[in-house]
Amino acid sequence: MSSAELAVVVVLPASGTGDRFSCQTPKQFACLLDKPIFFHTVMAFYRFDWVQNIVIIVSTEHIDRVTAMVDCCKDKVKVVLGSNTRHRSIREGVQALMHVQPVPDVVVIHDVVRPFFDEEVVKTIVKNAFVHGAAGVTRPLVSTVIQGDENNMLTASLDRNLYRASEMPQAFKYGVIKEAYEKADENDLDFGTELALKHCQTPAKLIPGPDCLWKITYKKDLYAAEGIMKETGICVCIQSVTGSASEAVLQCLEHHISEKGLSCKRVSEVSLDFNTYVFVHTEKSDITTMLETMSQEVCDCHRRNKYEIVKPCVIHVFAGNLLDTETEREFRETIAKLSKDQCSVLWYGVICQVRLNVCCSVYLHMFVYPQKV
């Protein structure tokens, strides 16, 4: 069963104080590119169309602020009041799922201060959690783990090859995580780990994860996170593909994109410097092959980028004769097929009319896939 066939809910505990961050403001509310860290994480999951709901758990003093910020995505995001420990807050989030319909198959739990994660890794965790009851990401240990006595004298050193670092996200079948928190005692809620194993005898399937799954813990981590986000922020490229697109069409596109405050360049090839691509087509000969070829270049290029936050977006613009209904039908059907086959990319199709070498300021037809019904 694929992740798209499962009812998947994400739980994001965000009520911690972030003591190691050494700041009066909890780290989840520290700003990266003018948005709090938690918002970047929420939006990263929100872009996954196979995630049905997202529950974010926050403290009393921040609940109004968070609720206002996620109002733009309230169709999928629910804000819940948290508690004074991580496990108690997660328990509140899991209990809130009793009112979610359809009943979740899998619950993903993730640190809200880990905004970088790969969609395919999350899908793998979800599928393994559904099969095994629980699954989690691991990374190799990078430092030697040692043990000392009461006098701080070395007594033992662990073999790093026998151990792994537990990372996030983790996923559980809904029944497993619900039962684990129902059985958890006060000590579990204060200090416990691996509650599914302890209370449900459900060992997690361990999934090797990429190195992008690091956690923003200290202030210095903000600089690294900001650098990654700037490299993967919205940057648009425009490319004339078939025929010779009129200069007016290209200038019109550049103008509207720049007006939104976005970086925009004309280029001749796909690269990871961009995550939004506008391909302008002016000839109708073999348009299906050209659409598929250019789109595949984008998919192949971005599949190599494990740090991507913004989902790649491809906008195909056909600047031609609107009376040519056969080309328009072929154009629409090809983009619909691409959306179905390559769901890791957002697909848009635009048909604009060109008269006297001037691109109309209003696009007469625009369609987005997948379409909502």
Closest residue by Cα to residue 114 from 94, 98, 137: 137
> Is the pLDDT at 306 greater than 70, yes or no?
no
Indicate the pLDDT class of residue 327, thresholds 50, 70 and 90: confident
> Is the pLDDT at 180 greater than 80, yes or no?
yes
Indicate the pLDDT class of residue 366, thresholds 50, 70 and 90: very low
Q: Please name every residue paired with 350 in a beta bridge, in sequence order, or none if there are none.
A: 317, 366
Mean pLDDT score of the chain = 81
Q: What is the pLDDT of residue 370?
A: 43
Tell me the pLDDT tens digit for each residue of 6-49: 999 999 999 866 555 556 677 888 887 678 889 889 988 988 88
Tell me the pLDDT tens digit for each residue of 72-86: 888 999 999 998 888
Helix (H, G, I), strand (E, B) or coil at 262: coil
Distances (CA, A) of 25 to 16, 29, 77, 109: 11, 7, 23, 23
The answer to whether the beta carbons of residues 364 and 322 sit under 8 Å apart is yes
Classify the phi-psi angles of 185: left when phi > 0, otherwise alpha if psi is within -120 to 50, otherwise beta. beta
Beta strand extents in the chain (DSSP E only)? 8-13, 31-32, 35-36, 51-58, 77-81, 106-109, 134-140, 146-148, 154-157, 164-173, 205-208, 235-242, 263-266, 276-281, 313-319, 346-352, 354-355, 358-359, 365-369
The whole-angstrom separation of Cα 210 and Cα 303 is: 13
Single pTM value for the model = 0.65
Q: What is the mean pLDDT of residues 312-336?
A: 77
The whole-angstrom separation of Cα 118 and Cα 291 is: 26
Q: What is the pLDDT of residue 338?
A: 84
The whole-angstrom separation of Cα 277 and Cα 266 is: 10
Helix (H, G, I), strand (E, B) or coil at 205: strand
The whole-angstrom separation of Cα 283 and Cα 301 is: 25
Q: What is the mean pLDDT of residues 189-207?
A: 93
